Structures are given as structure tokens and as C-alpha cells.
Chain A
């Protein structure tokens, strides 16, 4: 079938209105140099001079723990929707996420001497999905919310003032208070320190 040349612009315009491609890039923190990790028994002040203040910190039984992190999150999605034509009842979406990150964990004893240092980095598929939603768009095919949230220190004060009793009891097991250990972003609630909290 031969398409009339006068119809091509209409087809192009329709395609332009129907499809969309979105890219989101989140860069949180600065890369960590892992080439020269401090040796055991390095004093705290030398570590702080090298890396600056940590992003996460918690007391521990043998001293304290510090962590530095860097995240690079890439979210790509493409979708077809009739929204641009004024009809918000059909959408087809595809999306994927790539997560790169670094985490440096150090432990110190009560004399402020380094007892251990561990560096890890990763470049993983962070998930994604496809959806055809005929009436309303209920589901986002890529979910990055738990990775891009603000640091827990901003909520420290309000956490201690939570009035309802179960939450107050939970504060002792919450990793964001800085007294009971720490956890990375995106740690599921069913594992690690947070699993000690009550629902």
C-alpha cells in the first residue's frame, strides 16, 4: 500500500503526540577513592582528613561505625499514551533502571583507632517492567523512591518524639537513630536491623 505524501506529516505528528521517552539521572554524593584505604589502627582524625565526615554513623558495642556512599541511578522509560490527544484512558509503558554505587564502611574502637575498612562497588540492573493500562495508569513500571530519599539525619529529632507507644519502643531498634547500627539505602524491612522493629 502506498501512503500518500500528504499523509506523512499527519502520521509523523500523530506518532510525535503518542510516544515519549524519558531519562532520569540521579547522582548522589561524590565518588569514593578506594585506592588508598587507610590501614588498621589509623587514627580517626587522619581518616576524617582523607574522606571528610561520614554520611552515616552509628555507635556500636566496640566503638562506632562510619559509612560513606555514592549512588548513580539511571532510569529509562518509554511510553505510548493518548494523553496528548486529550484522552487519558490508555497507556503502554516500558522502563528499566540501572544502579551503580559505592559503599565504604569503617569501624573504630573506643580509642578512635580504625579496626576495619571495607569498600564495595556495584553496577546492577535495578529492575524495571512493562505495562499496558487500558483505563487509568495505576502502576509506575520503575520504582526508585526508596533509593533517592533524603538522608535519615533530617528525621532524627522527630523520630525521637514519636508519640505513639509502638513507635517509641521501636526507636531502640531503628537504624536511623545513630545508636543501633546503620543500613544502606534500599535495604528491605525484612532483613537487617530494621527486622527488629515491630509493625
Chain B
């Protein structure tokens, strides 16, 4: 084979043999606010103790005068990349699973809401 053809073939092969990367990062509290869990909670009846027992310690406690709010956050980033040396591309998607619970001055649950992305449900 001609030397120059061989070099071109090598360069093309090197380009095609570029690397790829995949990674994920998870931060925050363990996700325990699936519907099957929060179905046990009832506004006006459940207490802060019930929520803490089911979900564990929150990411943040917010004092709202006589009320309090417990805030749970789980941050999930997924990245994938193509590394060809000449051209490199990385894409990182971050999603936030979260839950918030409001309690009155008697520690009774008044309102709550949750959001969970399908990938984190299991």
C-alpha cells in the first residue's frame, strides 16, 4: 500500500476510534416521596413527625412565622460526551426531584406537593 494512503487511513481510523464518555452525579437527600409513600399523608391530620418518619431529614427547614416548611431536594445530573480530539461534545442534563411540606403552628400538615422524574422513581 502506498505510504500516503496508509497515513490517511491511520488518521481516519484514529478519528473514528475517539472516545466517548458517560457520567452521572447525584446530590441531595434520598428520594422517598414516591406516590405510594405520600398517599399515606393527609392534610389536616398527618403531623411533622409522620413526614419525618416517612421521608427522613429534609434538605432545608424554612420558618414562615408560625408555620414551617420542610423542603426535600435530590439533584440528578447525567452527562454524555463524544471525544474525538478535534471535536469534543459534552451534554449534561440536570433534573431536580423535590418535595415540600407545610405545617401549621401545631405541626399539622396543611399542604404538600412532590415532583419526581421517572428515572428516579425506583
| Chain A contact residues, CB within 8 Å of chain B | 5-6, 8-10, 12-13, 16-17, 19-30, 44-45, 48-49, 52-55, 57-59, 63-64, 84, 110, 112, 148, 150-151, 153-154, 156, 178-179
B102 cross-chain contacts in A, Cβ below 8 A: 44, 112
Residue of B nearest to A179 (CB): B63
Residue of A nearest to B9 (CB): A9
Q: Which of B93-108 contact A (CB under 8 A)?
A: 93-96, 98-100, 102
Q: Which of B6-22 contact A (CB under 8 A)?
A: 7-8, 10-11, 14-15
Across chains A and B, the number of contacting residue pairs, with CB separation under 8 Å, is 123
Residue of A nearest to B57 (CB): A157
Contact between A29 and B111, CB atoms less than 8 A apart: no
B62 cross-chain contacts in A, Cβ below 8 A: 57-59, 64, 178-179
Q: Give chain B nearest CB distance to A167 CB in angstroms.
A: 18
Contact between B65 and A52, CB atoms less than 8 A apart: no
Q: Measured between alpha carbons, how far is A95 from B106 in the docked complex, in Å?
A: 56
Contact between A52 and B115, CB atoms less than 8 A apart: yes
Specify which of A13, A48, A148, A153 is in contact with B111 (CB 8 Å cutoff): A48
- Beyond A6-B3, A53-B100, A110-B65, whether A154 also contacts B111 by CB under 8 A is no
Specify which of A6, A17, A57, A178 is in contact with B4 (CB 8 Å cutoff): A6
10 smallest A-B Cβ distances: which pairs? A52-B115, A48-B113, A9-B7, A178-B62, A53-B100, A153-B59, A28-B94, A156-B60, A53-B98, A22-B88
Contact between B111 and A112, CB atoms less than 8 A apart: yes
B110 cross-chain contacts in A, Cβ below 8 A: 112
Q: Measured between alpha carbons, how far is A49 from B86 in the docked complex, in Å?
A: 47
Q: Measured between alpha carbons, how far is A148 from B59 in the docked complex, in Å?
A: 19
Contact between A10 and B7, CB atoms less than 8 A apart: yes
Q: Give chain A nearest CB distance to B30 CB in angstroms.
A: 13
Contact between A27 and B60, CB atoms less than 8 A apart: no
Q: Measured between alpha carbons, how far is A91 from B99 in the docked complex, in Å?
A: 47
